Amino acid sequence: MTQNKRLLLIAPIGPYAMGQNFLRAFKEFVPAVAFVNYMDYFPLAFSLQERIITRLTLQRRIRGYNRAIRETALYFKPDLMVIAKGIEVKPATLEAIKEELPAIQLVNINYDDFFSRSPSNYFSNLDRLIPLYDWIFPSKKANVEELISIGAPRVHYLPLGYDETVHYPVSPNREISLRRGGEVIFVGTYTAARAEYLDHIVNYELAIWGGHWKRRKIRPDLWRRIQATGNNRIVWGPELSAVLNASKIALNFFRPDNRDTHNHRSFELPACGVFTLSQRSDELGEFFQEGREIAMFSSIDELREKVRYYLDHDREREKMALAAHERLIKGKHTIRDRVEKMMGIIRNSK
């Protein structure tokens, strides 16, 4: 049994950031936890000026980030170093750390597809990087065998989860109810596929929140449903729950380029207590019972049919939302639960 007394986390740390959730959970299981904050080197860039500056200074930021990881590891001397995703982490950085700290175990947690070609998820050096990790915990079942085939020594599927300190039912105030809610709501980043789906339900009272919508050419009817006050109006935490609960139906879309079969919203929407209408997947059916706890759709026609049906059946919709919420909070689907499972696997390994 492996004893882990010191852990170094490499992740985005900040209010409502995924790394913040992991940091809180790791502190329950490891006596000493330090971190390198990804956001210190790659902050969110919303405006055109911010994006240009980020692009022009990218290589300098990557060098500074890798230097900080190595220096912090050599100073802190952790038993475990956990990296969230780690696209910008260089193989040379991990090699240097393992040479200086031969007993260290390197762990990767990825909430996206390791083999995605999307710029925000793409690893340019995956074949060199993956064999350097002692443990990899992908959120995509398809990644397990793929990672083993390129040299990953230990791979364990780890589903995504929700943070119970952030995602919980919040009653909307009057302003949110009158100005920000809708019969149907979608909170998420623009994609062309999502816009196409939403374009077919604009005859309902629809509210759209999320990044990049106002930078895209979309039909005026859909444009008027965007709640953004700028190019990137994003809601987090209690505001997210309040906005969701000002509506009757919350939509969830997967990203084919990320090979999603579940995502964070799969858990966050029921955790907030809102009725969930999600794109269908077999894996989602392992977490929730379709027709009793959540509803699903596979096509535009089915989406329109389900929206119309559940808007007309208030009691059934409300009963399902309550059932999904109760199942979730009684289950083991929080970020803390995922960290507990991961730490148990590592600690009990030979």
How far apart CA 68 and CA 41 sit, in angstroms, is: 10
Cα angle 253-264-16, degrees, rounded to a multiple of 5: 125
Token pair of 29 as six digits:
């299981």
What pLDDT does residue 192 have? 92
Cα angle 28-31-36, degrees, rounded to a multiple of 5: 85
Question: Under CATH, what is the fold of the domain 174-330?
Answer: Rossmann fold (3.40.50)
Answer for the pair 275, 249: CB distance below 8 angstroms, yes or no: yes
Residue in 141, 131, 127 with CA at minimum distance from that of residue 108: 131
- For residue 263, give the 3-state DSSP assignment: coil
Domain positions in the chain are 6-159+334-347, 174-330
Mean pLDDT of 102-130: 94
Share of residues in the chain with pLDDT > 70 (%): 93
Q: Name the residue with higher pLDDT: 230 or 215.
A: 215
What pLDDT does residue 28 have? 94
Decide if pLDDT at 232 tops 80. no
Token pair of 75 as six digits:
């100073």
Positive or negative, the Cα torsion across 309, 313, 314, 318?
negative
Mean pLDDT of 73-97: 97
- Please tell me whether the overall predicted TM-score, pTM, comes out greater than 0.85 for this model: yes
How far apart CA 295 and CA 290 sit, in angstroms, is: 5
Decide if pLDDT at 75 tops 90. yes
Decide if pLDDT at 231 tops 50. no
Decide if pLDDT at 3 tops 90. no
> Which stretch of 110-119, 131-140, 205-214, 247-256 has the lowest confidence by average pLDDT?
205-214
Query: 56-74: per-residue pLDDT in tens?
Result: 888 999 999 999 999 999 9
Query: 297-319: per-residue pLDDT in tens?
Result: 999 999 999 999 999 999 999 99
Highest mean pLDDT among 144-153, 203-212, 227-236: 144-153
- For residue 65, give the 3-state DSSP assignment: helix
What pLDDT does residue 182 have? 76
Decide if pLDDT at 23 tops 80. yes
Residue in 19, 35, 109 with CA at minimum distance from that of residue 72: 35
How far apart CA 272 and CA 275 sit, in angstroms, is: 9
Decide if pLDDT at 8 tops 70. yes
Scan for tokens 């390129």, then name that residue: 150
> Which stretch of 125-129, 239-243, 330-334 has the lowest confidence by average pLDDT?
239-243
Mean pLDDT of the chain: 91
How far apart CA 109 and CA 135 sit, in angstroms, is: 9
Q: Name the residue with higher pLDDT: 129 or 216.
A: 129
* Cβ within 8 Å of residue 339, ≥6 positions away: 22, 25, 26, 28, 29
> Which stretch of 190-199, 210-219, 284-293, 326-335 has the lowest confidence by average pLDDT?
210-219
Share of residues in the chain with pLDDT > 90 (%): 75
CATH number of the domain located at residue range(s) 6-159+334-347 in this protein: 3.40.50.2000
Where does the pLDDT of residue 226 fall: very low under 50, low under 70, confident under 90, or very high at 90 and above?
Answer: confident
Decide if pLDDT at 174 tops 60. no
Decide if pLDDT at 288 tops 60. yes
Decide if pLDDT at 51 tops 90. no
Decide if 6-159+334-347 and 174-330 have a common fold: yes
How far apart CA 255 and CA 241 sit, in angstroms, is: 22
